[in-house]
Structure 1
């Protein structure tokens, strides 16, 4: 959803709060238009049950913040993508093992995967020259 709103140039309303009255009239008009577009986009995508819950919200940011709290899918999708990258990672004999393990650790950054899973997957990915580690 944010990709679509970014493409039409209105996603900034989901991040920034409504400005005070001291802002220039043209900027305020642009922000109000962007808010209406986001607000309409959200409401048109909702089911009837959810529409009844969110129709009273006046600001798109309020709806967005509620979505983020209620449906935390970003981390789930990110974790799925990272796990997919783990499975496709291959370690090569010709490259330095430390560099490859650092690359692996960079993939792991900010994930909540169990340590045992991460360790076993790393051991599986070790090159053939490291078979003594694979057997332990």
Structure 2
């Protein structure tokens, strides 16, 4: 649940996977201090370096295809396939634990801050502001 709404991670994955520059996605919820529920976060495998992604096109696509509460707040970019269980379900526990914490992994993370129209690369300063409740999600 996020913003009082139930969000289907499978549905969001299908929408993300429909964007031409995304090869594979895994969607899960992460806790942001001082908020209710879990914010959407997606781990993405791309067909190009993250610096070359058409971020404005991705943002426009997500706004067109998803209700505002279902658009992921965080995007974690990876270059390896997503770990799966023996029954081919995505392994989300480790991802949920690491969340958007730049100290726990080396993957680039992008954030859609409240009031912004598109994603920006998460910096340690922005992460401290998010964890310190300086943004109203």
The structure whose residues are more often strand, as a share, is 2
Of structures 1 and 2, the one scoring higher in RCO (CA 8 A, sep 6+) is: 2
TM-score by length of 2: 0.21
Larger radius of gyration: 1
TM-score by length of 1: 0.21
